[in-house]
Structure 1
Amino acid sequence: MERTSCGGEFFRYTFLSVLGTLGVSCYILADTFFVSKGLGTSGLAALNLAIPVYNFIHGTGLMTGMGGATKFSVCKGQNNQKLVDKIYTNTIYLGVLFSIAYMIPGFFCSEQLALILGADAAVLEMTVTYLRWLLLFSPAFILNDILLCFVRNDGSPQLAMCAMVIGSFSNVILDYIFIFPLRMGIFGAILATGISPVISILMMLPHWRRHKNTFHFVKTGFHMEIVKWDLSLGFPSLIAQISSGIVMITFNVIILKLAGNTGVAAYGIIANISLVVIAIYTGVAQGAQPLISRFYGEGNRKQIKSVLRYANLTVFALSAVLYAVIFIFAAPITTVFNSECNAELQKIAVTGLRLYFISAPFAGYNIILATFFTSIEQALPAHILSVLRGIVLVIPTAFLLSFLWGMTGVWVTYPVTEALAALAGFTIYKQSAKKGKNI
C-alpha cells in the first residue's frame, strides 16, 4: 500500500512538473519559431548567440530556488517552521542580489557581450537588442524560478504547473502579436519572453491569498549559513543550465568557423529542441525532488529508493520515445524553423538532430542523479557530476572531435560527453552506497 501511494504521488508530481518545465522551455522555443518566420536566418543566428545568457539567468534562478526549496522541504519534514521562514526570506534576498548583478551589464555593456559571444556585423544589432532586454528582465525570470520551486515543494504542484503553462502560453501569443501585427522585430520577441514570467508570478498569488502556504516572508537578517545551503544544494541546477550555455557558446565558436552563420542557425534549431528535451528531464527531477527531500527529512529510506527507481525508469522510457520521434521526423522538424527553405541549413540540421540526441538517455540519467544527491543533502557528488558534464568534458571533447571529423564531430560531442559523465556518476553512486552514505 505504501509503495502504491508513493508511486501515485511521484507520477502526480512528475506529470505536473514536466508540463510546467515544458512551458518554461517554450519561452525560447516560441521565440525561435517566430523569429525564424519573421526575421529569417540572420534573426535565428542572433537569437542563438544570445540564448546562452538566458541559460545563465535561468540557471541562477533554479540554483537559488531549488537550493532553498530543497532545504525548505527537509526542514518542513522535521517541523522546523521558524527555519523554514528564514530560508524563504533569505532565498528572496539572494535572488534580488543576483538580479542586480545581471541588470548592470544589461545597462552598460550589452554590445561588448554580444561581440564576445561571436556576433558579426550582420547580426550584431539584433543580438545586442535581445541581450540588453533579456538581462534587464532578469529579476522576473529569477523571482519566478524561486517562487515556482517553493510553491511546488509546498504541496501545490498543480498551481506551479498552471503558472508555468499559462505564462508560456502568453509568451506564444505575445510573440505573434509583437513580431507580426506590430512589427517590433527582435525586440518584440524578447519583450514577449520578459512579460511571461511576470504573468506566471501573478498566477501564483492565490497560494498566499488562500493561506495555503507554509512559508512566509519574515523580518530577518541576511544569514550566510542559509545562503551557503542555497548555493551548495542548488549549484547542480545552475551547472545543468550553464552547461547548456557553455555547450552553445563552444559549439557556436566552432560552427562559425566550419559553416558560418548558416551553421549557427542550424545549430539554433537543435539547441532549442534540446531545451525542450532537457526541460522534460528537469521536470521529472523536480517532480521527484520534493518527495526525496521529504522522505529524507523523515528518515524513510525505503521510499527514497522507490522514488529514485521510478525517476530513472521514467527517464529511460521517455528517452526511447523522444529519440524515435526526433530520428524519424528530423526533416519536418527542421522545415518548421527553415522559413527561407535554405537547403544547406536543412541538411546540417537534419544530420545534427539524429546524432546530437543519441545523448538523450545519458543526459536524463545525469540530471536525475545530480538532483537525487542534492535532495539528500550530498552536494559534493552532485557538484562533481554537474561540473564533469557541463565544463570539464565538453570543451576539450568538442575541439578534439570537430578537428577530427568536422561537423560530425561537433554533433557527437554531446553524446560522448554525457555518456562519460553518466559512467562517472554511476561509479560515484555505487561507491557512495558501499560507504553507507546513501540508500
Structure 2
Amino acid sequence: MNEKILGEEKIATLFLKYSIPAISGMLFLGLNTIVDGFFVGHYIGVNALASVNIAMPFFSLMIAVGVVIGIGTQSIIGKKLGESNIEEASDTFKTSLSFMSGASLLFLVIAIGFTKQIAAFLGANEQLMPMVITYISYESLFLPFLGVMFVLDYVLKLMGKPVYSMLALVIAVISHMMFNYLFIVQLGLGIKGAALAAGLGYSIAFVMTILPFIMGRTTLKLFKGNFKKSLACNVIYNGSSEGLSEIGTGVTTFLFNITLMHYVGEVGVAAFTAISYLSFIGNNILIGLSDGVGTIISYNYGSGKIERVKKALKLAGFSAIIIGVGLFSVISIFAREIIAIFLDANHEQAFNFAVYGARLYTFAFLVNGLNVVSSGYFTAICKPKSSGLIALSKGIVWIGIGIVMLPQIFGIKGIWLTVPVAEMLTLILSGSLMYKHFKYQIQPN
C-alpha cells in the first residue's frame, strides 16, 4: 500500500515529497486569490472588491466546517492506518463524507433562504448591499462541491498521492482564472461572473479529487465502511482546532471590516481587502507546510515511531521560520508593486492606505508560521485541546482585544498592528504547550 512509505522512508525525503506538493497546491490557491482580486478590483471596481471581502466571512464559515471535518478525518485515519486498523479507517471515511454532504446542503439552504439578512449582518451598507447579495447567492450554489472536496483532498494525501492532490488544486485554479477572464472581461457579468468562476473552480477540484476513489486506486473505498455517530463526534473534536483557525479568519475579516468602516469607510475596507489577499497567500503557504508534515506525523505517531515524529516537526519548524522571513522581506520591499496588483494606483487614498497597512501587517509573518506548525502538530496527533487553544488565542481572543484597544492607543496604525501583536502573544502560548508536551506527554495514546 502506498501509505506504508510514511512509516518507512527517510523523514527528509518524505518531508520533501509531501510538503512541497502541499505548499505548491496552497500557493496556487493564493495565486488564484491574486488573480481573482485583480479581475474584481480592475474590471469591476473598488466597491466590488469591498463587497467580495464583506461576503467572505460567510464562506470562511463554510470552509471552517470543511477544514474541521477534513483535518479531523485525516488525523484519525492517519493514526488508524499507522495502527493497521483498515476497518475503522474506512468507517471514519464513510462517516466524514456523509456528514460533510449534509452540512454543505444545510449551508446552501441557509444561503438561499436568508441572503439579504446574511449580507446585512456582515456589514454591507446600502451602497454595497446589492453586490454582496449577488455574490453570496451565486457562489453558494456550489457549496456542496466545496465541502466534500475538502474531505477527499485530505484523505488523498494519506493514500500516498500528495502530487495528485496538488495537481487537482492546480487544474482547478487555472480553470478558475480562465472563467474569471471569460465571465468578467469577455462577457461582462460583473460580480455575478466572479461568483460563478469561483464556484466552477470548486466543482472542478471536486471532480479531480473524487476520481481516484471512483476508479478504485486507493486503499479506502468510496462506498465501503459504515456511518457511526461516535466517529462523527471524534472527527469534529479532532478537527475543531483547525476549524477555529478558519472561524478566526472570518472573525478577523468581520472585525476589521466593521472597524475600518467606522474609522475610514469603504476606502479602508478596500485597502484591507488587498492586504487580506496577501495574508491569505502567506498563510496558505504555511498551512500547506503544516498539512504536508501533518500526514507524516499522524501516521508515525500512530505507529509509535516518536523519533520520526520529532524529526518531521523540527524540519517543519525550521522551514516555517525561513518562509516567514522570506514573506516579510518581499512584502516590506515590494509593498507598492504588490498592492498595485489588487488596487489601481489612481485610487490614491485607498492605494496609499493599503501600502502603509501592508508594511505593518507583514510583521505577523515573522512568527505566525511557528504557531501554524504547532497547531497543526497537535491536531495531527489527535490532541485538539492544545491546538484549539493556539487557534483561539491567535484568531479570536487577541484579535478581539487588539482591534478594540490598539486603535484607541495608536490610531489607524493600531488596526494594522492587531494581527502581528496577536501572533507574537500566541507564540508564547505555543512554546509553553510544546514544552509541556515533550516533557510530560510525548507517548502516544
Flag whether TM exceeds 0.5 (same fold). yes
**SS of residue paired to 2:367:** helix
Matches within 5 A, 1:164-203: 164-203=169-208
Q: Give per-residue Cα distances to partners, 1:6-52, cap 9 Å, x unaligned.
A: 11111121100011112333454332110101111111111111112
AA of the residue aligned to 1:95: M
Q: 1:119 aligns with which of 120, 124, 128?
A: 124
Q: Which residue of 1 aligns with 2:255?
A: 250
Q: 2:37 aligns with which of 29, 32, 41?
A: 32
Q: Give per-residue Cα distances to partners, 1:290-329, cap 9 Å, x unaligned.
A: 1001111110010000000000111100111111110011
Q: Distance in 1 between matches of 2:293 and 2:379?
A: 12
Q: Which residue of 1 aligns with 2:22?
A: 17
Mapped pair 1:385 → 2:385: no
CA contact (8 A) 1:42 1:261 kept: yes
CA contact (8 A) 1:352 1:411 kept: yes
Mapped pair 1:308 → 2:296: no
Mapped pair 1:92 → 2:115: no
CA contact (8 A) 1:335 1:341 kept: no
Q: Which residue of 1 aligns with 2:244?
A: 239
Give 1:75 shift: 0.8
Gaps of 5+ in 2: 1-6
Q: Distance in 2 between matches of 1:232 and 1:329?
A: 41
The structure-2 alpha-carbon separation of the partners of 1:120 and 1:425, relative to structure 1 and needing over 3 Å to count, comes to same
CA contact (8 A) 2:344 2:351 kept: no
Q: Which residue of 2 aligns with 1:366?
A: 371
Q: 2:146 aligns with which of 121, 141, 144?
A: 141
Matches within 5 A, 1:243-392: 243-339=248-344, 341-392=346-397
Give 1:380 shift: 1.1
Q: What is the TM-score when the length of structure 2 is the normalising length? A: 0.95
Give 1:438 shift: 5.5
Q: 1:213 aligns with which of 201, 213, 218?
A: 218
Give 1:4 shift: 8.4
Give 1:388 shift: 1.3
**SS of residue paired to 1:308:** helix
AA of the residue aligned to 1:429: M
CA contact (8 A) 2:149 2:209 kept: no
**SS of residue paired to 1:432:** helix
Q: Distance in 2 between matches of 1:327 and 1:28?
A: 20
Give 1:235 shift: 1.2
The structure-2 alpha-carbon separation of the partners of 1:47 and 1:221, relative to structure 1 and needing over 3 Å to count, comes to same
Q: Distance in 2 between matches of 1:70 and 1:250?
A: 31
The structure-2 alpha-carbon separation of the partners of 1:251 and 1:97, relative to structure 1 and needing over 3 Å to count, comes to same
**SS of residue paired to 1:204:** helix
Q: 2:160 aligns with which of 155, 161, 164?
A: 155
CA contact (8 A) 1:144 1:200 kept: yes
Q: Which residue of 2 aligns with 1:407?
A: 412
Q: Give per-residue Cα distances to partners, 1:74-104, cap 9 Å, x unaligned.
A: 1111111111111110001110121122112
Q: Which residue of 2 aligns with 1:60?
A: 65
CA contact (8 A) 2:93 2:225 kept: no
Q: Distance in 1 between matches of 2:91 and 2:267?
A: 50
Q: Distance in 1 between matches of 2:412 and 2:57?
A: 20
Identity across aligned pairs (percent)?
25
Q: Which residue of 1 aligns with 2:106?
A: 101
Q: Distance in 1 between matches of 2:117 and 2:256?
A: 20
Q: Distance in 2 between matches of 1:85 and 1:58?
A: 24
**SS of residue paired to 2:336:** helix
Give 1:232 shift: 1.3
Q: What is the TM-score when the length of structure 1 is the normalising length? A: 0.96
CA contact (8 A) 2:34 2:341 kept: no
Q: Distance in 2 between matches of 1:127 and 1:175?
A: 18
Gaps of 5+ in 1: none
CA contact (8 A) 2:57 2:250 kept: yes
Give 1:68 shift: 0.6
Q: Distance in 1 between matches of 2:9 and 2:100?
A: 38
Q: Which residue of 1 aligns with 2:74?
A: 69
Q: Give per-residue Cα distances to partners, 1:315-346, cap 9 Å, x unaligned.
A: 10011111111001101111222236111111
CA contact (8 A) 2:242 2:388 kept: no
Q: Distance in 1 between matches of 2:385 and 2:365?
A: 24
Q: Which residue of 2 aligns with 1:129?
A: 134
CA contact (8 A) 1:46 1:126 kept: yes
CA contact (8 A) 1:40 1:339 kept: no
CA RMSD of aligned residues (A): 1.7
CA contact (8 A) 2:142 2:202 kept: no
Give 1:124 shift: 0.8
Q: Distance in 2 between matches of 1:3 and 1:216?
A: 24
Q: Distance in 1 between matches of 2:427 and 2:133?
A: 37
**SS of residue paired to 2:10:** helix
Give 1:365 shift: 0.9
Aligned residues: 438
